Amino acid sequence: MADKKLRIATVSLAGCFGCHMSFLDIDERILELAEVAEFDRSPLTDIEHCGDCDIGLIEGGVCNSENVHTLREFRKHCKILVAVGACAINGGLPNYRNYIPLEECLGESYLDGIGVENPQIPSDPELPLLLNKVRPIHEVVKIDYSLPGCPPSADVFWKFLTDLLAGREPALPYELIHYD
Amino acid sequence: MTKTFILDGQPIPFSDGQTIIDAALDAGAYIPHLCHHSGYTPHGSCKLCSVLVNGRVCSACTFPATEGLEVLSHTEELNEDRKRITQMLFVEGNHLCPGCEKSGNCKLQAVGYYLGMHDNHFMHFFSPRKLDASHPDVMIDLNRCIFCTLCVRASREKDGKDVFAISGRGINKHLIANSASGLLKDTDLEASDKAAHICPTGAILIKRTGYATPIGARDYDHQTIAEVSLEQEQESHGG
Amino acid sequence: MPAGPEHSNPAKRMRLFIQDLAAKHHFQPTRLLEMLREIQARDHHISNEAVELLAKALQIPRTRIIDAVEFYNFFSSTPKGRYELLISDSITDRMLGKDALIEYMAEKLRVPVGGVRNDGLVSLDNTSCTGMCDQGPAGLVNGHALTRLDRARVDRIADLIERQTPLAGWPPEFFQAEDNIRKSGLLLGRPIAPGDALKAAYTRGLNQTLAEIDASGLRGRGGAGFKTAAKWRFCAEEAETERYVVCNADEGEPGTFKDRGLLNAFADQVFEGMTLCAAIVGAKHGFLYLRGEYLHLYDKLQAILAQRREAGLLGRGILGHNLDFDIEIRLGAGAYICGEESALIESLEGKSGIPRNRPPYPVSHGYLGKPTVVNNVESFFAAAAIAVHSGAWFAAHGTEKSKGTKILSISGDCTHPGIYEYPFGTPVRTILDDCGAKDILGAQVGGPSGTFISNREFGRLLAFEDLATGGSFIVFNNSRNILDIAHNFTHFFAHESCGFCTPCRVGTSLLRKQLDKIYDGRGSAGDVAALDEICRLVKTYSHCGLGQTAANPVLTTLARYPEAYQSRLKKISYEPGFDLDAELETARRLANRSDAAAHLSQTGE
C-alpha cells in the first residue's frame, strides 16, 4: 500500500480549463508529483471514465445534465472530492446567466439575437440540456475540500496535494487564499 | 488613571463613551467587522464583531467599553462562527469576485481571507438584483450590497445629503436612491462624496477607475485586513 | 364635496387629499403610519405620486416613506383589490382548515392567492396570525377582522364583493369578535372602577404606590419579565423631564389574543394603569400602540378615552391633582417585530420597525430619545389593580419568583378556546384539563418564540422560572404532525424578520430552506446537522429577541422528537438542495424533448 501511487482524476465541468492550466503551472514539480501520483480520467490522459481514485479535482460549476452525470461519476469513484476554483465553488462567471431566465438566454442565442440565421433551439438528443441555473458543485454532491481562486495558483495545488500526500490536513496560508 | 477592560487576556485602555471596538482598534487589537467604520455612528448589523462580554454575545461596535469587562474575541469558536456569518453574506448576495472591480480591495473578501473561508458553505440564493449605471461617474451593483448602511451614514453624516436608504423588510431589503425616478443620476450624489467611496464591497464604484492597481499591489494581496485596518486607524489618528 | 372642474382631475384630487391629510396630522412625520394607512385605505396602494406629495408636505426624504411602505405588510406600492382580503396563516387557522378554505376562496372569487383580480375588485393573500385563534379561521377585509370563516360564509362574502356592497352593509356577525373569557382569577374577577387606582395612589402617595407595585413583584407580562416597578423607577430617575408612557398592544405572537380581550372588556383599567404610570414617572404623553389587526377596537377605545377625559381622568389636572396626561392611540400596520419595545418606538416615530442597539434602553432613550416606559397591556392592567388592592394582595399568589397571575390565550385542539387567568405556578396539566384538551401530543407555550412541550412534561409549571410565556398557549392533539408545526412557525419568522442583522436576515431564510428540504422529504443524512448549525447561529448572534428565538420551533421539537425529523430523511448520504429534474423543465420544453436523457434522477445512488 505504501508504495502504491496516489490516483488522481480531474475534469472541467462548466469551466474554462483555466484551473487545469494553472495546475500545470506547477512546472517541473510535476515530475516530483509523478513519482508519487498517477492520473486517471483527466484532460491530460484521455481516459474517458473515472476508475477508483484517491482524489478527484473538479473545475467548473454544474450547468447542464451532462455535468451532473460526470460529477456523480467522480463522487462515486473518488475518495476525496475537491471543488477547484471559483466556478466549482459558487458557479463563477457562468453564474452570471442565473439572473436571466433560461428561456431568454436561449432565445437571445438561438432565436432572436443579432445575426441568428435559421433560428431554432437545438434539440438533438446527443446534446445535454441546460439547468435553469448554474450551480456550485457542493449543491449537487458532497464535497470534501475547496480550493478557492480564479484560478487557484499552482502553489495552491502544490500545497494541497503535498499536504494530502504527507498525511497532513490540507491548509492554505493567507497568501494562497484568493477568490479571484 | 486610565480605565481598562480585558480583551483576550490583554488590558485595553479606553476613554468614556468609546465602544469596545474603538478602544480595541486604538490599542492595536483587531476585531473583524464590516458595518463599523471609525468616525461613523455605530450600526451593529453585520454581527461580525460579535464578541463575548462577560460570557454574553454582544456587538463590539455598539457595546460601550466599561471598566473591568472581560471580553473574548479571538477564539476559534468565534472565528468559525464569523466565517459562517460571512458565508451567509456571500450566499445572500451574488459575489462573483473574478468579475468585480473591487476584488483585492474588498473588505468582504478580505474578511473571508482572514477567516480562512474557502467556500460558501450554504445554499446560494441567486436572487436577481438590480444594477444602476445611470450616474455619469458612479455605479451601483446591488448584487454586492451587504446592507452595512455605510453609504447611507456617509451621505447623511459626512456629505450633508440624503442620497441612500435601505428599504423593505427581511430578506427583501434593498438599497434605494433618493430621487423621484429612483435612479442615481437624479440624486445629488457627486463622485467626490464620501458616500461614493465608503462601500466595503463593490456595490458602489467610481466609474473609469477599475483595475488601476495591478494584482499583487492591491490592499489585501499580501496584508491581512487586520493589518490594513490597524494601519488605517493609526493613519487617521496621526493625521 | 364640490364637483367643480378642479376636483375632476385625479392628480389635483390626489394633491388636495395629501395636503389635507398632512394638515390633519399636523405635518408630523411621527404620524407617517397613520397617514399611510389612510392613503392605502383610499387608493388600495401607495403610489409614487402619493409618496412624492407626502414627502414634500412632511419635508422628509421620500426614501423614508418608501421604506415604510415596503416594510409594513398592510401597505403596498402596487395596487391591491378594492376589497383586500388577508387570511390569517397561524397554525391554529391551519388546524381549523384554513388551507382548503383559502383555495376555495381563490376559486370562488377567481383570484390567485397572492394576486389581484384583473378587474381590480379583489385581492387575496395570507397574513401572519391576526389574533383570532379562538374563533378562526380568521382574516381581514380592508383591515377589518373577519372571524369564524367557513365555506358558507365565504360564499356570502364572495357575493357581497361581487355586488360591491360597502363593508357597512355586510352582516355584523361576520365581524363579531367574542372575548371568550373562560376563567377569571385575581385580576379578571375583580376589575376596578374608573378612577379607583388613581384615587388610591394619590391617597397613599405616589412613592408609596410605586413601593406597592415593587412589593407586588409584578414583572413585565410581554414575556421577558423585567420588574415593572424597577422600570418605572429608572424612568422617573432620569434627568430628562420629558417622558413617555407606551402601552404595547402589538400582540403579534401567533396564538396570543388576551390583550384583544383585555382591551375590549377592560380598556378603562388598562388606561388607568398607564395614567398611574404617568403620575409616578412624570409623563405627560402616552401612546397605546395597537396592532393594525385590531382596527375593530379602535373606535371603541377612542370613545373610552373621550369618556375618561370627560370624567377628569385624562387631560389637564387629572382628579384635581398636578397631573397632566393624555393618551394617543397609534395603529400598527402588520409587522410582528414591532412587538419588540425598541422597534415599537421606532414605529411610533413613523419609521420602519427596526430594533435599536441597546444599551441605551428605552427607559433612558425611548420615544424621540426621551425616557420612556414601555409595558404590556396586561402589565398596566395588573398595575392598576395593585394600586387599589395593594402589593401584598397580588404577591400572595404565584411562586417565589413569579408573583400574581398570568392571563393566557388558549387555542388549538381544545373544546373551550379563549382567555384564562391562572396563578403562576399552575401545572400545565391543570390548564389542559380546564380547556377540554384530550389525546394530547403537546403544547406550544409562549407561541413560536416559546417552547414546545411534549405530553411527558405536563407537570411543568407556568412561571418565569420554568415556562415563561407572553400568554400564547396552543394545544395539539395526536392527529397533528410535529413537523407541520415547526414548518409553519419557521416560515413565520423568516417572513417577519426585519432584516437588520445578517444572522437573522439570512439565517431565518436559510433555516426555512433547510427545514423545507427535510419537510418535503428531500433531506439526507447530513441535513439535520446542517439544520442544527443554522439554528445555533441564528439563536446566538441575532440582534434582538426575534432572531434569538426564531430557531426555537426547530430546536425544541428536534430535542423532543428527533425521530420525526430522521424519519423524513432519505437513506442516502447526500441529497441535492434543489429538484434537479425540475431544473431541466424549461430546457426540455424549449428543445421539445422527452427522451430518457432529457431527465435527471434526484440522486446518483
Please check whether residue C120 is in contact with residue C514, taking contact to mean a CB–CB distance below 8 angstroms.
Answer: no
Mutant choice from C514, C517, C579, C584 vs A, greatest count of A C-beta within 10 A: C584
Sheet of strand C139-141: strand arrangement: C115-116, C122-127, C83-88, C139-141, C144-146
A104 at B interface, C-beta within 8 A: no
For residue B60, what is the nearest residue in chain C, using CA coordinates? C357
| Mean per-residue pLDDT, A42-61 | 94
B167–C71 CB contact, under 8 Å: yes
pLDDT at C525: 86
ipTM > 0.90 for the complex: yes
Q: Is residue A1 very low, low, confident or very high in pLDDT (cuts 50, 70, 90)?
A: very low
C491 at B interface, C-beta within 8 A: no
Q: Which residues partner with A12 through β-bridges? A: A59
B165–C63 CB contact, under 8 Å: yes
* Helices vs. strands in chain B: H and E counts, helices first: 6, 10
Stretch 42-61 of chain B: residues touching chain C, C-beta under 8 Å = 42-48, 50, 57, 59
Residue C236 cell numbers, joined: 422617573
Kindly compute the dihedral angle of the four CA atoms of residues B73, B77, B81, B82, in this order, to the nearest 10 degrees: 30
Please check whether residue C176 is in contact with residue C147, taking contact to mean a CB–CB distance below 8 angstroms.
Answer: yes
C586 at A interface, C-beta within 8 A: yes
pLDDT at B239: 42
Question: Mean pLDDT by 10-residue block, N- to C-terminus, for chain C (605 residues)?
Answer: 62 96 98 98 97 98 98 98 98 97 98 98 98 97 98 98 97 97 97 98 98 97 92 97 98 97 98 98 98 98 98 97 98 97 98 95 97 98 98 97 97 98 98 97 97 96 95 97 97 98 98 97 93 98 97 97 94 88 96 94 79
Q: Is residue B1 very low, low, confident or very high in pLDDT (cuts 50, 70, 90)?
A: low
Please check whether residue C409 is in contact with residue C450, taking contact to mean a CB–CB distance below 8 angstroms.
Answer: no
Please check whether residue C271 is in contact with residue C314, taking contact to mean a CB–CB distance below 8 angstroms.
Answer: yes
Residue type, B93: G
SS3 B5: strand
Which residues in chain A have their CB less than 8 angstroms from residue B110's CB? none
pLDDT at A51 exceeding the cut of 50? yes
A139 at C interface, C-beta within 8 A: yes
Backbone angles phi, psi at C299, to 5 degrees: -65, -40
Q: What angle do CA C383, C387, C388 make, to 5 degrees?
A: 120
Please check whether residue C580 is in contact with residue A68, taking contact to mean a CB–CB distance below 8 angstroms.
Answer: yes
B91 at C interface, C-beta within 8 A: yes
pLDDT at B178 exceeding the cut of 80? yes
C503–B85 CB contact, under 8 Å: yes
What secondary structure, in 3-state letters, does C449-508 show?
CCEEEECCCCCCEECCCCECCCCEEEEEECCCCHHHHHHHHHHHHHHHCCCCCHHHHHHH
Gap between the Cα atoms of B64 and C57, Å rounded: 39
Gap between the Cα atoms of C539 and C481, Å rounded: 24
pLDDT at C577: 86
CB-closest option in A68, A103, A123 to C600: A68
B169 at C interface, C-beta within 8 A: yes
Please check whether residue C546 is in contact with residue C338, taking contact to mean a CB–CB distance below 8 angstroms.
Answer: no
Q: What does the pLDDT look like over C107-163, one tens digit per residue?
A: 999 999 999 999 999 999 999 999 999 999 999 999 999 999 999 999 999 999 999
- The CA-to-CA distance between both ends of chain B, in Å, stands at 26
Q: Which residues, in sequence order, are CB contacts of C422 under 8 Å at separation 6+?
A: C183, C185, C405, C406, C408, C430, C431, C462
Per cent of chain B over pLDDT 90 is 96
Gap between the Cα atoms of B233 and C15, Å rounded: 51
Q: What does the pLDDT look like over A81-112, one tens digit per residue?
A: 999 999 999 999 999 999 999 999 999 999 99
Contacts 24+ apart (CB under 8 A), A160-163: A160/A82, A161/A8, A161/A33, A161/A37, A161/A55
- Give the CA count within 13 Å in the CB-facing half-sphere of C217: 18
C552-560 vs C527-541: helix axis angle to the nearest 10?
Answer: 130
For residue B51, what is the nearest residue in chain C, using CA coordinates? C541
pLDDT at C1: 47
B202 at A interface, C-beta within 8 A: no
